[in-house]
Amino acid sequence: MGRRRARPPRAHRAGLPQPVLHLRAQHQPRRQLDHQHARGAGGLRRAGRARHPHRPRPPGGGQGAGVRRLRPGDAGPPGALGVRRLRELVRRRRADHHQLAGPGGGVPRPPGASGLGRAGGRVVSTAYPPEPWDLTGTGLISLWRVPVDAVPTLPAGARALTLRGQALATTMLVRYDERGAMAYRELLAGVLVRHGRGVALSITDIWVDSEASMAGGRALWGVPKQLAAFDPDPGGAATGSAHAETGPVGDGPVATGHLLARRGPAVRLPFPLRARIVQTRDARTLASPIRAGGRLRLARAEWSFDAAGPLAWLRAGRMVVSVQAEEFAMRFGA
């Protein structure tokens, strides 16, 4: 018998086709894939097709458009590669960053404001967050009855709310802390008014120790904020004295408020209080919403107002009740 011929491999004998796709291993550094839009590693390569040597990325599109990919050969001293890359990115993003303070940007500014102001000989920033402002802190709040003829000028369409022939006013010393959008101290006086079909608060006098808060309050809601220096009571409480830096003032502080005693337990409000403030902005009456919640406690307080200062009109009034607002949260604006 003759020698038997060797059989071909089983795959060829069965007539099976050769594989047409080869999987490429992933995470192959410094290698471009065949697909013109592929980035990084991983992909498919057809059998018999030559690999394209470092095909360049198509122009346009993507956040990195216009920024040339740097190669190790471009690097100078150690660390220069990252610095050069950073400079190219900063150059592209600088215009978008400046839009935050421009018209329609995320940080509006009052007309004519450049973002920098000067107070007490020092350069300060007047940039402020957009509304609404979410603020937290503590405060001393007192309700007053004052003669109607002593009430300051109110916005058009608003009239003082009266009780037994006298207007109702309020004074507040507040310390907003860092948990909110801004942290600053505030002294305000306002009058409860009827506006439209509801009751609102019109802030007639207000002082803060934050230039940004002053600029934002005026531009967003027409709140006539002025700057003041505060001398807080020991312990970091909201009470103390406020000395105005601008406006008519006498020999002493504009106002001083002290918490003398707390009465009873603190009661948490079961739901947020919703109200409005009515102010004059650009010669028009503007109503803005406010919402507040937290714990209230009855208190005994003592106030004094400079006889020659802007709050002298409250000296003719009588305090009705005072409360201490503990751990309150307030949203100002819409």
Per the model's pLDDT, the better-predicted residue between 65 and 255 turns out to be: 255
Q: What average pLDDT score do residues 278-300 get?
A: 97
pLDDT at 103 over 70: no
* Diameter over CA atoms, the chain: 136
Q: CB of 213 within 8 A of CB of 182? A: yes
Q: What average pLDDT score do residues 38-50 get?
A: 49
pLDDT at 153 over 50: yes
At 56, the amino acid letter reads: P
What is the chain's Cα-based Rg? Answer: 35
Name which of 17-31, 124-138, 179-193, 320-334 the model is least confident about: 17-31
pLDDT at 39 over 80: no
Percent of the chain at pLDDT > 90 equals 53
Res 161: pLDDT: 97
Summarised one tens digit per residue, pLDDT across range 229-283 is 999 887 667 788 898 875 555 456 899 999 998 988 999 999 999 999 999 999 9
Q: What average pLDDT score do residues 55-78 get?
A: 52
Name which of 3-17, 31-45, 98-112, 258-272 the model is least confident about: 98-112
Determine the Cα–Cα distance for residues 183 and 136; give it in Å rounded to an integer: 9
The pTM score is 0.64
Domains of the chain: 138-330 (2.40.400.10)
Q: What average pLDDT score do residues 141-149 get?
A: 98
Counted residue by residue, the chain has a size of: 334
Per the model's pLDDT, the better-predicted residue between 20 and 302 turns out to be: 302
Q: Quickly state the pLDDT bin for 37 (edges 50, 70, 90).
A: low
> Considering the chain, what is the average pLDDT of its residues?
77
Q: Quickly state the pLDDT bin for 54 (edges 50, 70, 90).
A: low
Q: Quickly state the pLDDT bin for 318 (edges 50, 70, 90).
A: very high
Res 101: pLDDT: 38
Res 211: pLDDT: 96
Res 7: pLDDT: 61
Res 321: pLDDT: 97
Summarised one tens digit per residue, pLDDT across range 209-233 is 999 999 999 999 999 999 999 998 8
